[in-house]
Structure 1
Amino acid sequence: MQGSGIRRAFLAKYLLHQRRTFSQLAEKLSSVPGNDAPIPKIPPFDYSPPPYTGPSAAEIMQKRKEYLSPSMFCFYDKPINVVDGKMQYLFDENGRRYLDAFGGIATVCCGHCHPDVVKAIVDQTNRLQHSTILYLNPAIADFAEALASKLPGDLKVVFFTNSGTEANELAMMMARQYTGCQDIVSLRNAYHGNAAGTMGATAQSNWKFNIVQSGVHHALNPDPYRGVFGSDGKMYAKDVQDLINFGTSGHVAGFMSEAIQGVGGIIELAPGYLPAVYSTIKKAGGLCIADEVQAGFARTGSHFWGFESHGVVPDIVTMAKGIGNGIPLGAVVTTPEIAQVLTRRSYFNTFGGNPVCTAAGHAVLRVIERENLQENAHVVGSYLKERLTDLKDKHEIIGDVRGRGLMLGIELVTDRQLKTPAKIETLHVMDQMKEMGVLIGKGGFYGNVFRITPPLCFTKEDADFLVDAMDYTMAKM
């Protein structure tokens, strides 16, 4: 306890010092003799938001403290009051523009307030905001058909939910009902949601409350950077067979994993892992569940779904976030045979399949296809990863650069050999990049991984600005 208090005091003192010294960083550095590194400039953008006349950031923060859950937290020592957005940019209460490289946690795929998505929402809202799926409406049926066309094999039956947590909860229940088994295997370091069932599948103590969580076994994480077997996917896969042999009856309900772990710090699964594990799970009578909440909807660039890069076809696919570009929407897609399990009782979701949400989702699909956003994610994401890899050669604090498309991670360490997490340094870089106009995410068990998941309309100019801002900040540490 005493050590924890000392660390908190040190961190508070460090951040206070940064707040005092960085507020005038740009002005000071520009006037320092011999300072030959120009401050990176945000790319030009032809949009100015209307004047903001609402409450200030300080007033909003006071209301949050008084009326909202104390569990809610903000990024940055001085949180931003975001009041406007357009494509890959956000604007604060003073009209200052920021490059959004976090995309609302991999949610905004088409771009903030994309006109086609906004139009679909407004048009449907003006006509019918909500009824119930007990009546017929074209919005849900049309979107389900379009969504099913993007999936391989016999994955064509859709259940709509409101979030990724709901989708994963439903997928786990379906696997248990279909197989008659309770045991589910997930990965250490995984995040699948924060409800009762999905919290069990989640495997980071940071996100798990002390409640009863049973029926889930957590396998070794096939992490090429920190994992015990490096990039040998088949060696990690043996652990799943061991879990089945020694921790279950020999039969399981299923296996759930992300193709790239988002909250866990943009961890790509070791090559060869998923095919081997899927085979093992099938032999044990289980179903394979692909959590595409963050990696889906063209974000990885090379494929529309993250699991496709591993050459596997799951039995159930869950999705949310990018599916609606910010609208509360999620889905579970499975085969007609597996879908039948929900007819054993009544399954119902009041808002799942809401006409406004499904109209938005359908518009998102059309925009991704028409604007070639998957190709853009591949081209710009590959360019950005290459530039970040070059940055790693320049700055020792960067331990690893990983991910694909526009789902990238940069892990900071104070010692490359020991891979010691650079927690305080991560906060420092993140805060100073914000001051220069770049917003990025943070994740990983140790909180030392930058998560870059911008809207898929990100450009190479945006990528250059992001890398230059990071380079500039690290050079001044």
Structure 2
Amino acid sequence: MADPEARRRALLQERRAVYGPNTSLSYKQPLHIVRGAGARLFDSGGAAYLDCVNNVTHVGHANEAVNAAICGQLALVNTNSRYLSEGLVELSKQLLATLPPNLEVVYLCNSGSEANDLALRMARAAAAARAGRAGAAPAAPHVACMASAYHGHLTSTMAISPYKFWGAHGAGKEPWVHVLPLPDTYRGHHLDGAASARGALAEARAAGGEVVAFIAESVLSCGGQTFFPEGYLPAVYAEMRAAGAVCIADEVQCGFGRMGDAFWGFQLAGVAPDAVVFGKPMGNGFPLSAVAVTRELANTFGAQEYFNTFGGCNAAAAAGLAVLSEIRRLDLQASAARVGARLLARLRALASEHPIIGDVRGRGLFVGIEVVRCPASKAPAPAAAEWIKEFALSRRVLLSTDGPFDNVLKIKPPMVFSEADADELVGVLSEALRALTGSEAARAAVEEAEAARYEARVAPTAARYEENAARIYAAAAAEAAAAAAARKLALLGVAGAPASGGASTSSGASSDGDWEPPAAVGPAVAGLAKSPLRAPAPAAR
């Protein structure tokens, strides 16, 4: 038998010779994974790793029921949706049964990127149809999204993904895209959804456009496992709908019971979207995604045929039905609630002993641990987060990092993750934190790396997002002031003065035009390079 380590190194070189150079590999020493089972992955040497990050294999790696359903269907037939299929109809019906009654129609696709693209096309078609009914020329279609959002790798979805276009080597924001500031509940910034929405709408109108769609993950995954503050998303939806925009919920990373308390993330926020996008976990690794929409959206989109070669194929439908069946059979939503509660409680206890854990947030099996340089400044610590991730790998526990500054440890394991798995993860994290804060050499190395990352990533990223926030709030303020001035002129009887400024003031803009932007602007990153790691607090006796 060949030496597994030698083969791993050779495979890495072979991949570099033939595969795309701008693709990524996890960890400094990439793993050669050859099989999986439940919440474990196994490398070519037989070592088992606890997988805390793979939300694609939702009902567990190599799930027997899902595999049997796919293989059984492939052994019979696998053709496209231009033929009648019980599986396609049944999967659509079962999906709709989990959703609000306003969502009545399903389209099946292959990936979350593709499904988000389709949702955008529908929103643009709806806006064009509305303009047509009014006998008016449609305004330029614009889209509003959340800061640090990721909605896919297509040209259309990269353009609405600040995580990419403002990330490393990003192309920058398109003029037709408007970015709502990330609501940072840990630092208390940008928590007013209505104000942010008004700013995005005003910025679009000032550019001669109309926001036809607002898209947001129901929980912001690439934004650092960030949950919307109470009332935020309903306020944004209200402003967007008042302006005629379609509200799209991206459930690709957070749906299918992962929240524990709800089957879909948007249910926790108290909203009913006009379109919901599903992906990743829907096929447990088989390429499958979907969009569920209102009847009105489907009808306005339906003039030209929509066809997808593999979307809705027999094997995809079999995979989707098997995943839903396994979620029910294994009671995975309740399991996520139970295991997640235990995990969060233990992580918060750990945070009380280690000040570099600034925040622990989550619901169910969707958890983020924000690593900071000190609790006072709350300065991001991406190098420390990476150190912890690599230490966990050495103990055969797989984690990832994410967020605008890459300082959030992201936990979103297969839903079969058990309480014993949660305890194992916490034990390894505890060991990692003691090793980091208890070693002068480790702290010094991480501090040096933090200073470099501050200059290379933290400061430039913060500047981009704060410049955007300032523009958004300024646009809302300018529009409100213009509307107020127009009203005053109209009251004075000035000839030609409009009755209103055309701005939406549905939820908070003052009738006198004295609306003020939120006082807190951004994560205050100036001087963060001087905030050192702190040693753990003494254990309680």
TM-score by length of 2: 0.75
1:220 aligns with 2:177: no
**CA drift at 1:219:** 1.1
Q: Percent identity?
A: 37
Query: What residue in structure 2 maps to residue 136 of structure 1?
Result: 84
| 1:121-162 Cα deviation digits (max 9, x unpaired) | 11011111x322112222212211111111111212111111
Preserved contact between residue 52 and residue 397 of structure 2 (Cα < 8 Å): yes
* Greater Cα offset, 269-278 or 206-215: 206-215
**1:121 corresponds to which residue?**
70
State which of 321, 324, 328 in structure 1 corresponds to 2:283.
324
CA distance in 1, matches of 2:50, 2:87: 33
- Aligned partners of 1:217 and 1:64: how far apart in 2? 38
Asked if residue 102 in structure 1 is aligned to residue 68 in structure 2, the reply is: no
Q: CA–CA distance in 1 between the matches of 2:389 and 2:89?
A: 43
1:394 is aligned to 2:342: no
SS of the counterpart of 2:98? coil
* Distance across 2 between alignment mates of 1:246 and 1:347: 33
Q: How does 1:76-225 map to 2 (within 5 A)?
A: 76-103=27-54, 106-128=55-77, 130-180=78-128, 182-204=141-163, 205-206=166-167, 209-210=170-171, 213-225=174-186
Deviation for aligned residue 1:432: 1.3
- Residue in 1 that maps onto 2:387: 428
Q: What secondary structure sits across from 1:428 in the alignment?
A: helix
Letter in 2 for 1:118: N
Q: Please say if residues 265 and 443 of structure 1, whose CA atoms lie closer than 8 Å, have aligned partners that are also in contact.
A: yes
Query: d(CA) in 1 for partners of 2:153 and 2:169?
Result: 8
Does residue 245 of structure 2 align to residue 297 of structure 1? no
* 8 Å Cα contact 2:176-2:209 kept in structure 1: no
Structure 1 stretch displaced more, 203-212 or 115-124: 203-212
| Code of the aligned partner of 1:225 | Y
What's the CA shift for 1:250? 8.1
Match of 2:303 in 1: 344
1:147-192 Cα offsets, whole Å, 9 max, x none, are 1111111212111111111111111111111022512111111111
TM-score by length of 1: 0.85
Distance 1:307 1:63, change over 3 A: same
Q: Offset at 1:54?
A: 12
Question: Against the structure 1 CA distance between its residues 208 and 424, is the aligned structure 2 distance closer, same or farther, given a 3 Å change threshold?
Answer: closer
Contact 1:199–1:208 under 8 Å retained in 2: no
User: 1:335 pairs with 271, 294, 304, which one?
Assistant: 294
Moved more, 426-435 or 292-301: 426-435
Is 1:375–2:341 an aligned residue pair?
no
- One-letter identity of the residue aligned with 1:68: Y
Q: Which letter does structure 2 place at the counterpart of 1:86?
A: A
Contact kept in structure 1, 2:162 and 2:173, CA below 8 Å: no
Pick one of 190, 200, 203 that aligns with 1:243. Answer: 200
| TM-fit CA distance, 1:237 | 2.3
Instruction: State the AA in 2 paired with 1:91.
Output: F
Q: Tell me the matched-pair count.
A: 421
Q: Is the 8 A contact 1:250 1:284 kept in 2?
A: no
In 1, Cα distance between the equivalents of 2:38 and 2:203? Answer: 51
Change (3 A) 1:118 1:53: farther
Match in the other structure for 2:513: none
Tell me how large the CA RMSD over aligned residues is.
Answer: 2.0
**Cα-to-partner distance string for 1:341-396 (whole Å, 9 max, x where unaligned):** 23222222111112111111110001101111000001101110111111111111
The residue identity in structure 2 corresponding to 1:101 is C
Q: Hey, what's the Cα distance between the residues in 2 that align with 1:362 and 1:341?
A: 28
Give the SS at the match of 2:162. Answer: coil
Q: What amino acid sits opposite 1:431 in the alignment? A: E
Q: Are the equivalent residues in 2 in contact too, given 1:185–1:254 (CA < 8 A)?
A: yes
Output the amino acid matched with 1:111: G
Contact kept in structure 1, 2:283 and 2:316, CA below 8 Å: yes
**CA apart distance, 1:475:** 0.3
Contact 1:302 / 1:378 at 8 angstroms: preserved in 2?
Answer: yes
- Evaluate the alpha carbon distance shift between residue 243 and residue 213 of structure 1 in structure 2; reply closer, same or farther with a 3 A threshold: closer
Aligned with 1:365: secondary structure?
Answer: helix
**Secondary structure at 2:311's aligned position in 1?**
coil
State the 4+ residue runs in structure 1 displaced beyond 6 angstroms: 51-55
Cα distance in 1, alignment partners of residues 97 and 248 from structure 2: 19
Q: Is the 8 Å Cα contact of residues 255 and 288 (structure 1) preserved in structure 2?
A: yes
Q: Distance in 2 between matches of 1:254 and 1:455?
A: 31
Counterparts of 1:406 and 1:298, CA distance in 2: 9
**Could you report, residue by residue, the CA deviation over 1:197-240 in whole angstroms, capped at 9, with x for unpaired residues?**
211211131267427834221012222124524xxx4x232121
Mapped to 1, the partners of 2:222 and 2:356 lie a distance apart of 21
Structure-2 separation of matches of 1:413 and 1:402: 14
More displaced 10-residue stretch of structure 1: 208-217 or 417-426: 208-217
The AA in structure 2 aligned to 1:261 is L
Q: Would you say 1:354 and 2:305 are equivalent positions?
A: no
* Deviation of the 1:271 alpha carbon: 1.3
1:442 corresponds to which of 378, 401, 410: 401
User: Which letter does structure 2 place at the counterpart of 1:125?
Assistant: L
- Deviation string, structure 1 residues 242-272 (Cα, Å, up to 9, x no partner): 2213432685212111121112210111211
CA distance 1:212–1:413, change in 2 (3 Å): closer
Instruction: Tell whether the 8 Å contact from 1:199 to 1:207 is kept in structure 2 after alignment.
Output: no
Aligned-partner SS, 2:152: coil
**Alpha-carbon distance between aligned partners in 1 of 2:14 and 2:147, rounded to the nearest angstrom:** 37
1:367 counterpart SS class = helix
Is it true that 1:411 corresponds to 2:370 in the alignment?
A: yes
Displacement of 1:315 after TM fit?
0.3
Residue 56 of structure 1 and its aligned partner are, at CA, apart by 2.2
Q: What CA distance in whole angstroms lies between the structure 1 residues aligned with 2:204 and 2:302?
A: 31
C-alpha deviation, 1:439, in angstroms: 0.6
